[in-house]
Structure 1
Amino acid sequence: MDADISDSLQAAVRGAIETRQPLQPRGHGSKDFYGNAAGGERLDVSGHRGVVSYEPGDLVLSARAGTPLAQIEALLTEHGQMLGFEPPQFGGRGTLGGAVAAGWSGPRRPWAGSVRDFVLGVRAINGRGERVRFGGETIKNVAGYDLPRLYAGSLGTLGLLLEVSVRVLPIAEAEVTLVLEPADPLRQMLDWQRRPWPLSGLCQVGGQVYLRLSGTAAGVDAARKQIGGEPWAQGAVFWQALRDLELPFFAGGSPLWRMSVLPATPPPDLAGEWLVDWGGAQRWLRSEAPPAQVWAAAAAAHGHASLIRDGERGGGVFQPLPPAHTALQQRLKAELDPSGLFSPGRLYSGF
């Protein structure tokens, strides 16, 4: 049931400030496995839900942070629209606020944009117990610092999200998935991305490459004929399973890493099993390699890596930051959450 419980959430935050009790905002908890173990008492945001405004003609939707992604996507589908950043729904769960806080984008990300590219505005409660608003509900609303996008990927460390306004996209007229087995998958994926084709997914699993085309019927058909191959009936199931980490690859027992690198980066010298997504820009790795070795390999490739599941987590799960970046993060945290109230340690130790 839709409800606005912002008053009670603000009261809880102000009470926590008085008692110096850290808080851990939480929606469905579908991404509890992600990030470092956070300190603080859990603050349930899932009751703060409901679409606040939606004008299909403006391609903008605003909803409370606890609104289930499934509810939002059902509404958008009725109007032939979708969330362009394709957020995961682990176990069929997830909220809009959690999707933004986690900053996870699905297979469509290189061609449609990331989570932060779609965030237009936020309403939140900061570490002083104040309600704040950044951005707005129109695409051209940014003047000065683009503060709303700072909340994307912050894992709840900058404040309690109350409401998010996002840009949405029309559902493509046509969409097909092709499965191919090129001799050199990475080189072939790079070549395909140079073509004027309506790509919306490009992934390598083993020796097979899965390619998704989304656009006008004429554009998709023309690209498919140039690429070759026949449409695969299970394409929609595959991309959803990839998005939600439900492919067999993700079920292994070894530590699961996610690495972000330039698409043309050769395979890093790390023992393990690889899955290549985003046309080469996102690499998933199952490996028993020590964290320091994985981070060193990512840094050598001018990228970064995060430990997603399992493995040794005592030294943190995210790529260590350079001193200048650490100082910037600490300054940002001090400005928006001066008492260190929200999810302490979830991103990095000390903030």
Structure 2
Amino acid sequence: MVSEQQTDTPVADSITLPTLVDRVRQAAASGTALRIRGGGSKDFYGQSLQGEVLDVSGLRGVISYEPSELVVTVRAGTPLAELEALLASQGQCLPFEPPHFGPGATVGGMVASGLSGPARASVGAVRDFVLGVVLLNGRGELLTFGGQVMKNVAGYDVSRLVAGSLGTLGVIVEVSLKVLPVATAEATLRFECSQTQALDHLNAWGGQPLPLNASCWVEDEGVGTLYLRLRGAQAAVAAACERLGGERQDNAKVAADWLACRDQRLPWFLQRTPEQDLWRLSVPQTAPVLDLPDTPLVEWHGGQRWVRAAAEHATKLRAAAAAAGGHATLFRPAEAGGATTVPRFDSLTAPLERIHIELKKQFDPAGVFNRGRMSARW
């Protein structure tokens, strides 16, 4: 067991957890808005940033780690890179490959944003690996949900509800995560093909017993290329490589490309002009090629399609995603032109929005945390 215990954990190197609780209570009493911030690597994500900064980056450290049990409990301000290094030292990992988007990424930001990397379509999302959380709500109360095992929930699974909530329900203080062993074998295959051919391949392979882990199709100077990553047992990966063909890539070299894909540092992302927004279209994997203003980068076996587009294409993009049975998110606004007036997230149906509002009232009745981050209305 790898473990570490502390009390009165320092927050931002200057205040303790009790002081953090006091500040939240004072904010609730005065109606002061607070903006929760760990490393700030995902400040770009969400509708808007409002309120005084509540820096929780000092709330860090591993509380307990049981490699044999595949469970780690860690404070929310812990740098994500530190947690991943600890897991790697034990031959384990966060299989959903959370994006960092900067050196300051924290575990709390990972859970609050709910974002996953290239392997998400095969292994699951962040919320699938959250076993429990300690949450500081808008009343200044520390609440514990879930635990350190999978079957620990009776009633509403609040611990997984926190994933993707963008800090609107409270401050994540601690989180328990399920981890997995690193796969014993890995291979990346390269295929030169069109987007239509890539989607056909992925749909066909998805129905077969293959150790598919991640995929990325991208077009460069009119030439389309599909990269397919396999992970699993040695025999399964070797058999899949022989069966699928393609050009096998050097694992040591291609690993950097998968990390660049995870953190949007591939040339395709970097070539976005200052006038272009970056959109994420989440659609069924079986959706065909969509009518889009620009050729997308396709991940998640067809389920995630990144699009570079000017602001006037927002309506078309949302319509295309909806027609395919999915939704569209304005992931990163254009650098030129200042703040965008285009909603970052699709509108919720009236019943769903009512549920969101009622949950917000229960956890944060004074509306202290991250006002306007998910919706301009609350």
Return the TM-score normalized by structure 1: 0.97
Q: CA deviation at 1:268?
A: 2.2
Match of 2:290 in 1: 268
User: SS of the counterpart of 2:216?
Assistant: strand
Q: How many residue pairs were aligned? A: 351
Query: 1:139 and 2:186 equivalent?
Result: no
5+ residue gaps, structure 2, are 11-15
User: SS of the counterpart of 2:112?
Assistant: helix
Q: Distance in 2 between matches of 1:231 and 1:163?
A: 41
Match of 2:360 in 1: 333
Match of 1:63 in 2: 74
**What one-letter code is carried by the residue in structure 2 that aligns with 1:286?**
R
Q: Distance in 2 between matches of 1:32 and 1:273?
A: 27
Q: Matched residues, percent identical?
A: 49
RMSD: 1.5
Q: Distance in 1 between matches of 2:324 and 2:359?
A: 28
User: SS of the counterpart of 2:102?
Assistant: helix
Q: Which moved more, 1:95-104 or 1:191-200?
A: 191-200
Query: 1:46 and 2:57 equivalent?
Result: yes
Q: CA deviation at 1:216?
A: 1.1
Deviations 1:152-191 (A, max 9, x none): 1111101011001110010001111111123511111111
> Which residue of the other structure, out of 278, 281, 286, is the alignment partner of 1:256?
278
Query: 1:85 and 2:86 equivalent?
Result: no
Q: Distance in 2 between matches of 1:96 and 1:132?
A: 18
Match of 2:200 in 1: 187
Q: CA deviation at 1:273?
A: 2.7
Deviations 1:118-142 (A, max 9, x none): 0010001111111101111112111
Match of 1:237 in 2: 256
Deviations 1:31-81 (A, max 9, x none): 111111121111001000000111001101110000001110110001100
Q: Distance in 2 between matches of 1:134 and 1:239?
A: 34
> Which residue of the other structure, out of 313, 323, 330, is the alignment partner of 1:300?
323
Return the TM-score normalized by structure 2: 0.90
Q: Distance in 1 between matches of 2:248 and 2:153?
A: 41
Match of 2:13 in 1: none
Q: Distance in 1 between matches of 2:249 and 2:313?
A: 38
User: SS of the counterpart of 1:92?
Assistant: coil
User: How does 1:1-351 map onto structure 2 within 5 Å?
Assistant: 3-4=9-10, 5-182=16-193, 184-206=197-219, 207-233=224-250, 234-251=253-270, 252-253=272-273, 254-288=276-310, 289-311=312-334, 313-351=340-378
User: SS of the counterpart of 1:163?
Assistant: strand
Deviations 1:242-268 (A, max 9, x none): 100100111111210001000111222
Q: CA deviation at 1:27?
A: 0.4
User: SS of the counterpart of 1:265?
Assistant: coil
Q: Distance in 1 between matches of 2:103 and 2:183?
A: 23
Q: Distance in 2 between matches of 1:339 and 1:290?
A: 37
Q: CA deviation at 1:224?
A: 0.6
User: SS of the counterpart of 1:259?
Assistant: strand
